Amino acid sequence: MDLSELSSPTTPVKSESAALVSTQLERCNEAWGLASQIAAEVAGALTPALDGVRQMQTTGRIDRAGLHALVEQIERARHASMVGQQVARLARDGIQQQPEALNLTRTLRDVLAQRQDELNARGMAVKQLLRPAEVVVDATLLSALLDTLLDWSLRHACTPVELRLDTKAWPAHARLVCHYGHTPQDQVQATRSAANGRRSATTLDCLSWQLLMQLARAMPLHVDRVDTENDTSLTLEFPHTASDKLQGATSIEWTSGLAGDDTPPHADTQVLVIAVRREVLNQVSQSVLQMGLRLESVSSVNAAREFCQQGLPQAIVYESMVYDSAFDRLRNDIKQQCPELAWVEIVEQGDAFEISSFGGMSMARVGRDAIAGSLPSALMFELARGV
């Protein structure tokens, strides 16, 4: 089949060009802002270090406190440079992620344990109020996120850092809250006069904060930060939260809007169902009724081919019995044009639920007996992978 026959919904070229230019300008401004911030933080650390070295050249000696300060200033400059490199890397698209179900509580405790010596050396305490929570994210990004969260909070905290982890009732999202005081009470009055009642955004929005935001955007997480005259509270919400409501499977709650948004999470998502049997189509339709999907159905591979020539859907759910050489050709052609399109196979027997990241599988599989309970979770996960 000629790939040109497969089309996706398009928008006017003029509006696409305007949007592209706007996006490029925004990224350019972000890049210049990042470069300026890296330079400022590196210079801010190296300037006093250079002054210390010059003083040592003049006097020929340095005391223990001066040496400690010099090492700390050089380390700050090195850290700023490394964080800047990480931010720049994440700012460029193309981060390859391997989402998996991870115990967020255990991961956070592991990160804290690894940095306990540092916390003791700095005389800092971290209060932990952690409830069990499991999330579906990339393991490397999660560890980097938690490490950066500690870097950012410890840099500004003048009180013990409090970490709270719980799960919202609806939508069922894991929620990590970091709270700390950044200005001693006796300095609040001076801070209020200098910064109009709030901590300077330039101070809190350091490079560690920029890295934290890039990581949160890549995962992606919902972020809410509230700064007052003497403390800060940051909430990180994990839309890909797993629960054990389904036996032998992972139930994933996914919403694209903010918490409290009643709009169905996939209201604009089109799903094509290839089902030979009416009873299977009815099972699929009923199971995803609450997701707000735009469901289309065909009963053969040829009909699916004709449908896709008019425009590709975001997901295809199909009965395993339709698989033949014609279906294989259709699927290969679609994957070449739209590799992120989600595929879910309905296998004839059993209550299996396997997502595409397990065992190198290229698509999700749901047993017919598990359609009602597992198909919505399978679709949400596969659609999230293509975001």
Q: What is the pLDDT of residues 238-255, one digit of tens each?
A: 988 775 433 333 344 433
Statement: residue 277 has pLDDT above 50: yes
In a domain, residue 250? The reply is: no
Together in a domain, 52 and 112 = no
Distance in angstroms (rounded) separating the CA atoms of residues 327 and 292: 27
Report yes or no on 374 lying in a domain: yes
Distances (CA, A) of 154 to 57, 122, 271: 33, 9, 46
Which residues neighbour 381 within 8 Å (Cβ) at sequence distance 6 or greater? 99, 136, 240, 250, 252, 254, 355, 364
Instruction: Flag whether 229 is in a domain.
Output: yes
Residues 27 and 86 in one domain: yes
Q: Which positions ≥6 away from 63 have C-beta within 8 Å?
A: none
Examine the domain organization and report whether 104 and 235 are in the same domain: yes
Does 57 reside within a domain? yes
Domain end, chosen from 37, 56, 91, is at 91
What's the mean pLDDT when you consider all of the chain? 75
User: Residue 156: helix, strand or coil by DSSP?
Assistant: helix
Query: What single-letter DSSP state applies at residue 268?
Result: T
Q: Is residue 376 part of a domain?
A: yes
Q: Are residues 208 and 119 in the same domain?
A: yes
Residue 177: inside a domain, yes or no?
yes
Residues 84 and 126 in one domain: no
Numbers of helices and strands, H then E, in the chain:
12, 15
Q: Are residues 62 and 132 in the same domain?
A: no
Q: Are 106 and 142 in contact (CB under 8 A)?
A: no
- For 219, counting Cβ atoms within 10 Å of its Cβ (0-12 exposed, 13-18 middle, 19+ buried), the class is buried
Residues 238 and 294 in one domain: no
Q: Residue 85's domain spans which residues? A: 11-91
Number of domains in the chain: 3
Instruction: Band the pLDDT of 233: cuts 50, 70, 90.
Output: very high
Last residue of a domain, one of 91, 110, 127: 91
Task: Please write the tens of the pLDDT for every residue from 314-327.
Answer: 999 999 888 888 89
The single-letter DSSP state of residue 348 is S
Same domain for 231 and 107? yes
Clarify whether residues 19 and 65 are in a common domain: yes
Proportion of the chain above pLDDT 70, given as a percent: 64
Mean pLDDT of the 199-225 span: 80
Indicate whether 229 and 312 sit together in one domain.
Answer: no
The model's pLDDT over 354-376, given as tens digits with 9 standing for 90+, comes to 665 443 446 788 888 888 777 88
Is 2 inside any structural domain? no
- For residue 8, give the amino acid letter: S
Beta strands 174-181; 161-167: pairing state: antiparallel
CATH number, residue 202? 3.30.565.10
Cα distance between residue 352 and residue 354, in whole Å: 6
Does the pLDDT at position 169 exceed 90?
no
| 212, 279: one domain | no
Q: How confident is the model at residue 273 (pLDDT cuts 50, 70, 90)?
A: very high
What is the pLDDT, as a whole number, of residue 49? 67
Residue 1 covered by a domain? no
Last residue of a domain, one of 44, 65, 91: 91
Reported confidence tier of residue 180, pLDDT bands at 50, 70, 90: very high
- Contact residues for 185 (Cβ-Cβ < 8 A; gap 6+): 230
Nearest CA among 148, 125, 147, 122 for reference residue 68: 122
CATH classification of the domain holding 336: 3.40.50.2300
Instruction: With cut-offs at 50, 70 and 90, classify the pLDDT of residue 285.
Output: confident
Asked if 314 and 267 touch (Cβ cutoff 8 Å), the reply is no
Q: What is the pTM of this model?
A: 0.51
| Position with higher pLDDT, 244 vs 196 | 196
pLDDT digits (tens, 9 = 90+) for 107-135: 999 999 998 888 888 888 899 999 988 88
Task: Read off the pLDDT band of 13 (50, 70, 90).
Answer: very low
**226/109 same-domain check:** yes
